[in-house]
Structures are given as structure tokens and as C-alpha cells.
Amino acid sequence: SVGRTQEIVHTLDKLENEGRLPEIPVFVDSPMAINATEVFRLHPECFDEGIAEYVLNDPDPFGFNKLKYVRTTEESKKLNGLTGPAIIISGSGMLTGGRVLHHLVNTVEHERNTILIVGFCAPDTLGDKIRRRENKLWIFGKERTLRAHVEIMDSFSAHGDEDEMLGYLSGLDREKLKKVFLVHGEYDRQEKFKSALEREGMRDVAIPELGSTFEIEV
């Protein structure tokens, strides 16, 4: 929802601007992804050089005419009644929960559909089983047969390595960078990365404990 969805939507936006996207509707069906996209839009100063140059010609890199963001449950359910071709972007990425499960129930057993998985799936998750094209799947307590086509794209990784993250953070305006939160990864790796950030001059780096709260200026 954070990072990967925006990267996919931006790729589709570029295809639309190049006239290479077919005349089919595109839906982003993930409340968290929608909220994250709004944060991206609020902070264009955080865009990398490529996106910053792109928005000179397209002020909204995450929106185009064929695209609709689906926020409510009622809108999400209506997608199951679509009769023509469509692209539905939904989470969770490992297919372990969220609205994507309802879309899978509606699509997984039909050969006319394609399931595109765009990232890592932990072993034995539903996403992993579909990546391996297991014939029988359990969704919502019922066995279902995988007949849809399955495609894999690992280029949309939402995880940067240490050098990439350091490079990104080092390029931000230090006056606007108030605080850095490390919330992903093993604790010992977080500690090492915190030290690396501090060596780069970022003094307010936090590794939040479970249940802790912070007030953030937006």
C-alpha cells in the first residue's frame, strides 16, 4: 500500500500519457493505499529527481482519467459486478487479508482473468501458493481451483536497500525533515541503520516500541 501501489499507478500514468494504455478502467481498491497516496501528493518536496521533473508536465503523477480510487466497502463490492475488462489494484500484497480476497474469490477460477503479483510473498502465504501456481487454494474457508493466468513482476519491490534509503534521505531538505522513524526490519539492523543515519547528520531518529505514540506535524 505504501510505495508499491504508487509506483504501479505512476507507471500506468506514464503509459496513459504515452497513449499505450488500453481503454479500460483502472481501480485502486485499498483504503490504506489511498491514504498513502494523499500523503505523497501533499509532499512533492520528497519526490526524487525523476518524479520532480515528470510533474512539470503532469501535475498529478498518481491520477489519470481512467483511474478511480475506491474508498468505501460498497464501491468495492460493486467491482465484482464488472462485465468488461478492468485492472484492479488491491492489497494485501501477500494476499493474506484485505479486499483483494473478495476479488480473488470472484476471479481465481476463471481462465479469462489474470492475477499479477508484484512483490515478495512469504512462504506458505496465499500469495506464495499462487506464485507457485498451486492448483487448489483455500480462500474464506472454501477450496477453489486456480484457473486464472498468473504473472509475476518482481521489479516493483517496495523495499530499498541501505544505500538506496541513505541516498534518498540524504537528498531531502534537512530543514523540513523533522524526524525519521525506523519501523521495519530486525531490531539489530534498525540499530545499525540508525547509526548510519546519525553519521549522516540526522540526529532525530527513532525506533518506536510497540504501542508507542507520536504527534506529527503535517
- Contact by Cβ (8 Å): 108, 75: no
Has residue 70 got a pLDDT over 90? yes
Residue 28 sits in the same domain as residue 87: yes
Asked whether residue 182 is assigned to any structural domain, the reply reads yes
Residue 173 sits in the same domain as residue 144: no
Residue 110 sits in the same domain as residue 142: yes
Residue 122 sits in the same domain as residue 14: yes
* Number of structural domains in the chain: 2
Kindly report, residue by residue over 76-113, the tens digit of the pLDDT.
999 999 999 999 999 888 999 999 999 999 999 999 99
> The domain containing residue 195 runs over which residues?
162-206
Asked whether residue 157 is assigned to any structural domain, the reply reads no
**Cα(26)–Cα(5) distance, integer angstroms:** 12
Asked whether residue 9 is assigned to any structural domain, the reply reads yes
Asked whether residue 213 is assigned to any structural domain, the reply reads no
* pTM (two decimals): 0.75
Kindly report, residue by residue over 202-214, the tens digit of the pLDDT.
989 999 999 999 9
Interval 46-56 mean pLDDT: 92
CA distances from 215 to 35, 86, 123 (A): 18, 40, 36
Residue 176 sits in the same domain as residue 75: no
In this prediction, residue 19 carries a pLDDT of 97
Long-range CB contacts (within 8 A, 24+) of 96-99 = 96/125, 96/126, 96/127, 98/30, 99/29, 99/30
**H-helix or E-strand spanning residue 144:** strand 142-145
CA distances from 135 to 58, 112, 118, 143, 197 (A): 43, 16, 20, 10, 46
Kindly report, residue by residue over 119-164, the tens digit of the pLDDT.
888 889 999 999 999 999 999 999 999 999 999 998 786 566 788 8
In this prediction, residue 2 carries a pLDDT of 78
Asked whether residue 93 is assigned to any structural domain, the reply reads yes
Residue 140 sits in the same domain as residue 180: no
